[in-house]
């Protein structure tokens, strides 16, 4: 009974963590919110969300293991769900962990710089550093995708990409750009 209660508590914590990473279910598309097709969703956005979800599942599995519980089901969830072999799963794990770690480090630095910027709002050097860190975070996602693309055979990457997009994109809504803002597209 205690074992089952612990599992339920851990799964609830994982669900809460994953919900914090992803936005809540938005309302259906309207004029102010655009639903994206699986192929047109920006690659960087899709993978940023997925890498965070993947890493959250691995961290929750680590917590299970630390409590002496079996973490196999959670640790290998995406491997089973996406039909990945051990090598593909390891490549996904490596790309996601590297990306999320870089983004978390950049975010901590950005938060510190933002505190400094409140004290000196006209400091263009701080603003420039924040901008570079944001760009570095986006680059970390692109590098993670490239790591997967280069380590997997093209048909296997295409299949993984499609499965990730099918998982993430239906919950994505993006406000259309303001007039005069160039629209970007995604996909492979």
Tell me whether residue 5 is in a domain: no
Of 17-31, 40-54, 71-85, 146-160, the one with minimum mean pLDDT is 17-31
Tell me whether residue 123 is in a domain: yes
Place of tokens 């940023």: 48
Tell me whether residue 179 is in a domain: no
Cα dihedral sign, 62-53-114-138: positive
Q: Which two tokens stand for residue 68?
A: 């002496």
The pLDDT assigned to 132 comes to 96
Tell me whether residue 57 is in a domain: yes
Quick check: 175 and 34 in contact, CB under 8 A?
A: yes
Domain extent for 140 = 38-170
Classified as helix, coil or strand, 179 is coil
Tell me whether residue 63 is in a domain: yes
Q: What angle do CA 50, 141, 66 make, to 5 degrees?
A: 55
Distance CA 104, CA 109 (A): 9
pLDDT tens across 146-188, in order? 999 999 999 999 999 999 999 999 888 766 666 655 554 444 4
What is this structure's pTM?
0.73
For residue 40, name the pLDDT band (cuts at 50, 70, 90): confident
pLDDT tens across 71-104, in order? 999 999 999 999 999 999 999 999 999 999 999 9
Higher pLDDT, 166 or 23: 166
Number of domains in the chain: 1
Quick check: 23 and 171 in contact, CB under 8 A?
A: yes
Tell me whether residue 13 is in a domain: no
Tell me whether residue 80 is in a domain: yes
Tell me whether residue 54 is in a domain: yes
């Amino acid at each position: 009974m205690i074992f089952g209660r612990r599992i339920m508590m851990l799964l609830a914590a994982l669900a809460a963590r994953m919900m914090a990473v992803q936005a809540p279910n938005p309302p259906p598309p309207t004029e102010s919110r655009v639903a994206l097709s699986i192929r047109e969703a920006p690659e960087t956005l899709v993978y940023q969300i997925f890498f965070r979800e993947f890493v959250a599942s691995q961290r929750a599995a680590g917590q299970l293991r630390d409590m002496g519980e079996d973490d196999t089901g959670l640790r290998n969830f995406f491997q089973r769900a996406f039909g990945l072999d051990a090598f593909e799963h390891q490549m996904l794990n490596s790309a996601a962990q590297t990306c999320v770690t870089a983004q978390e480090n950049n975010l901590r630095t950005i938060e510190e710089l933002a505190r400094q910027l409140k004290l000196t709002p006209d400091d263009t050097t701080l603003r420039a550093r924040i901008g570079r860190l944001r760009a570095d975070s986006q680059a970390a996602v692109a590098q993670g995708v490239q790591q997967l693309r280069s380590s997997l055979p093209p048909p296997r990457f295409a299949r993984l990409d499609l499965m990730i997009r099918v998982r993430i994109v239906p919950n994505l809504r993006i406000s259309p750009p303001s007039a005069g803002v160039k629209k970007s597209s995604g996909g492979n």
